[in-house]
Amino acid sequence: MSKFVPVLLSGLTIVSAPSYSESELDTYRSFTGFTGLVNTSNAEVLETGYWDIGYNNMLDNYTKSYVDGHNFVFSAGLFEGLEVSGLIASSTMHDNTFIPPAEGEELQTRDLSFNAKYQIPFIPKDWFNLSVGSKDIGGAANNYETHFVVASKEWRNFRFSLGASRSKHETGMMNGAFGGIEWMPLDWLAFQVEYDAEAINSAARVVIPKEWLFDLGELSLTSRFYSSTDFTDDDIFWGINFKAPFSKLAQSSKSKIEAAPKPIVSSRPEQRNFKPVEKAATDTQADRNSHDKTAKASGHELERKDLNKLARELRNTLIADGFESVRVGFNSQPTIIVSLENATFNNNEIDALGLAIGRVTEVFSGTSAKFILELQNHGISMMALSGDVASYERFLKDNVEPNINVKMGSRASIAGVTWVGLENANQRFLKPRVTISPEVNSTHATEFGVLDYSLALKADVNLPLWKGAGFNLTAQTVVSESDDFKEKKIFDDLSEDNGVRSAFLYQTYQLPWGIYNQTKVGFFREFHKYKGIINETAWVSPNGSHKFTNTYGYFEYQDFNSDRDYHTLDYQYYWAERDLSFHVTGGKFWRKDKGVKVETRFWFGDSYVAVYGENTNAKVAGVAINIPLSKRKNMNVTKYGQIKGTSSWRHQIGTRIGDSHNKLVYQQAYQPRLPVTLNKTFFNQGRNSVDYVYSNLSRLRNAYLTYK
């Protein structure tokens, strides 16, 4: 055993007393895909809600030697203590590895591996951290399979790590006891030395802070400048990493709200814990409170003419904010009733709720008024919020817990309501909405290249027609392809095509007992051209957390006499407190494969990372990322329509597991991807629920303070 391990043990003994450093030390990604040093891991993990993408040129060549090559690593902190990563290792970028190497040359490496590390909870932070991890999980050829346990202890600006591992590396790397020391004398500089069970390695890291990068993220540069290994001709290898949060909204939406000064009787679930939210804008400006202050005089009483004046002001303000189908009414209590549709906050309906309720509070500030807000979609009532202005005003000003109630579906009936404005004014119908997004088909780490792709630019034109109904046209044009996706090449059949992809009419109904039904009829293209019909029927639980969806599609080929169909049943549960959704889909899929697909989505703001598994014709495991490609608030809809980016763009990478080979699997457990579905168009990507609103109260507040 190297003398490095006894020295490290001595160091750990010296610092075994509790450490009280002012702040936690920074973490970095190793060359092998984990939070760690160079070849070894420490017990730290990537922060929850952060992603890291890295590249380094130290290729582990079939575990036999270290050569100049390519490593691409994507890491994500999915929840507290869990870090996952995917690593592509390749000798070259585009060479065909089916072609035998020339005489004297080595076989090329090209491998895709999945890695995970979990930090054990319940250990006091001032003791040490302990983690377990595995590399190259599943897959057909586990060349880099490694399992380890490691402990880390911070002392001043040092971090000491010691662990044990087992691996298949012929070099002996990570196959035995390992350890490392990290020294961070400056915020932007770190030195690392490790023993990886085979050799001693030293590295230096320089960090470019996020303040220098427009607060987008943190860039780190790494140089491994020394190694005692006998399995490489080069001592120096280098790497670069970029780390950033999936969404800054993920932190603000989970902020803590202070308890109300006295108990409030509410029908909503038990209060959640939040962290403080910073205001996103200044207090309400005086010019936004230009309405008659005398209307809010003694006893907070409002006469009918004052209510009418304020209601009209509220309606005009909401229309100016970009809301559609705006109706505002009041009764003598007074209760303010608002019904509207969200047309601009396309990433998340909760932002629309936050701005709208904030406007009600702003206009009726200082009164004893109550409010009921109903959010609609295509004229269908999806959710209603009620409360009183005084309580919500304290929430906006002082971050004190508001007294609100949330109800799925339509609002309760209110008697004696006087409506202001014309009912049919500001309707959403017959105004086209154009959504621009990329469409990508790709392969990763195959024998033909590290990345092959076909990229198209897609436009979805949606025209609302009447309540619950609309027409959608999707067309695309190919903008770029790698050589292997071009005509008569190996992936030609999988490439994107130019032209119309779909054109269909859809009609959605809201039925009793939480049942929704949507039918689409028209033209669909999935490699071949079809005329078809797709029907979705969903049941949503009273609080919105559970959802069952039955989907059936029937299609007839346009070019020859034949047909095909698919039929699936999907269950979804949304765990709002953890921002997790669980999905199970089973049945007969598009390519006539039968089986089941399970998926867990880890939400961060309006983005998510999904881990999924499929078992139909083959067993497949993979990771997907879904992100919005648009601003939080899009342009208002004009009489000519609206142009926006997509609210959910998804890309995934999967690999076959449990087999002796790793042949590509294409469109397994697949259903046609359409821009209009119940889940995407009406259910806020599956997040519409009572608990979701209560768990994101701070985001309601943030939306108003940002856009008031």
Q: What whole-number distance in Å separates Cα of residue 425 and Cα of residue 407?
A: 26
Q: Which residues of 161-190 are buried (b: 16+ CB within 10 A; e: fewer)?
A: bbbbbebebebebbbbbbbbbbebeeeeeb
CB atoms inside a 10 Å sphere around CB 574:
26
Asked if 507 and 518 touch (Cβ cutoff 8 Å), the reply is: yes
Give every CB contact of residue 54 below 8 A, 6+ residues apart in sequence.
29, 71, 72, 73, 74, 75, 239, 240, 241, 242
Summarised one tens digit per residue, pLDDT across range 407-457 is 999 988 888 899 998 877 788 999 999 999 999 999 998 989 999 999 999
The answer to whether residues 443 and 664 touch, using CB atoms and an 8 Å cutoff, is yes
Q: ω into residue 334 within 30 of 0, thus cis?
A: yes
| Pair of tokens at residue 705 | 């303070």
Yes or no: say if 430 and 463 are a contact pair by the CB < 8 Å rule.
yes
Contact (Cβ atoms closer than 8 angstroms) between residue 561 and residue 570: no
How is residue 637 annotated by DSSP?
Answer: P
pLDDT at 323: 96
pTM: 0.88
Residues in the chain: 708
**Residue 118, token pair as written in the block:** 């979990």
Mean pLDDT of the region 344-357: 96
Pick the CATH number of 433-676 from 2.40.160, 2.30.30, 1.10.1240, 3.40.50: 2.40.160
**Is residue 252 pLDDT above 70, yes or no?**
no
Asked if 671 contacts 331 with a C-beta cutoff of 8 angstroms, the reply is no
Q: Give the chain's mean pLDDT.
A: 88
Residue/partner pairs of 280-288 with CB below 8 Å, 24 or more apart? 280/252, 280/702, 280/705, 280/706, 281/705, 281/706, 281/707, 281/708, 283/397, 284/362, 284/365, 284/708, 288/362, 288/708
What is the percent of the chain where pLDDT is above 90? 73
Q: Do the first three CATH levels of 4-245 and 433-676 match, i.e. the same topology?
A: yes
Query: Tokens 């971090």 label which residue?
Result: 159
Domain boundaries, the chain: 4-245, 251-427+693-707, 433-676
Tokens 């060479």 found at: 95
pLDDT digits (tens, 9 = 90+) for 161-185: 999 999 988 999 999 999 999 999 9
Contact (CB, 8 A) for 52 and 78: no
Q: Using DSSP, state whether 269 is helix, strand or coil.
A: coil
Which CATH number is 4-245 given?
2.40.160.40
- Residues 638-652: tens digit of each pLDDT: 999 999 999 999 999
d(CA 580, CA 578) in angstroms, rounded, equals: 5
Query: How do residues 63-111 score in pLDDT, each as one tens digit?
Result: 889 999 999 999 999 989 999 999 999 999 988 888 887 776 777 888 8
SS3 call for 697: helix
Task: For residue 405, give the amino acid letter.
Answer: N
Per-residue pLDDT, averaged over 543-564, amounts to 94
3-state secondary structure 372-427: EEEEEECCEEEEEEEEEHHHHHHHHHHCECCCEEEEECCCCCCCCCEEECCCCCCC
Q: What is the pLDDT of residues 415-427, one digit of tens each?
A: 889 999 887 778 8
- As a whole number of angstroms, the distance between CA 374 and CA 369 comes to 17
